[in-house]
Amino acid sequence: KAGVTQTPRYLIKTRGQQVTLSCSPISGHRSVSWYQQTPGQGLQFLFEYFSETQRNKGNFPGRFSGRQFSNSRSEMNVSTLELGDSALYLCASSLGGGSNSPLHFGNGTRLTVT
């Protein structure tokens, strides 16, 4: 069974630009979550989608948005990039959110904003 696939692996963008990251979950997984990882703030939850609906949202500005398609694939968009958005963005999928259902992570997209 294929794991969670994130594309691209690396991105370099300039301040003010926007970026779209893509995530394909494990087959059969309907929940997709996004996390931002930085050395200073650690792993922070961005949002979660389940059956195309945003089910939970973290404390990030509105410049961060996402969506999920009918095939459970998800995209995350960051507009008007700032230097502080440089981070590893991790996507995770799971079956649904039962208490014992772990998140399965992709390799991440490393975003550098210059």
Partner 1 sequence: AQKITQTQPGMFVQEKEAVTLDCTYDTSDQSYGLFWYKQPSSGEMIFLIYQGSYDEQNATEGRYSLNFQKARKSANLVISASQLGDSAMYFCAMRGEYNFNKFYFGSGTKLNVKP
Q: How far is the CB of 35 from partner 1 (least distance, A)?
A: 8
Instruction: Report long-range pairs for 56-65 (Cβ below 8 Å, ≥24 apart).
Output: 60/36
- Residue pair 58/47 in contact (Cβ under 8 Å)? The answer is yes
Ramachandran area for residue 100 (φ above 0: left; ψ -120 to 50: alpha; else beta): alpha
Residue 31 binds partner 1 (CB under 8 A): yes
Residue of the chain from 24, 36, 50, 78 that contacts partner 1 (CB under 8 A) = 50
**Closer of 14 and 28 to partner 1 (Cβ):** 28
The three-point CA angle 19-77-101 to 5° equals 130
Stretches 12-20, 47-55, 62-70, 71-79: which one binds partner 1 (CB under 8 A)?
A: 47-55
**One of 78, 108, 111, 113 touching partner 1 (CB under 8 A):** 108
Pick the binder of partner 1 from 19, 25, 48, 74 (CB under 8 A): 48
Is residue 60 near partner 1 by the rule CB under 8 A? no
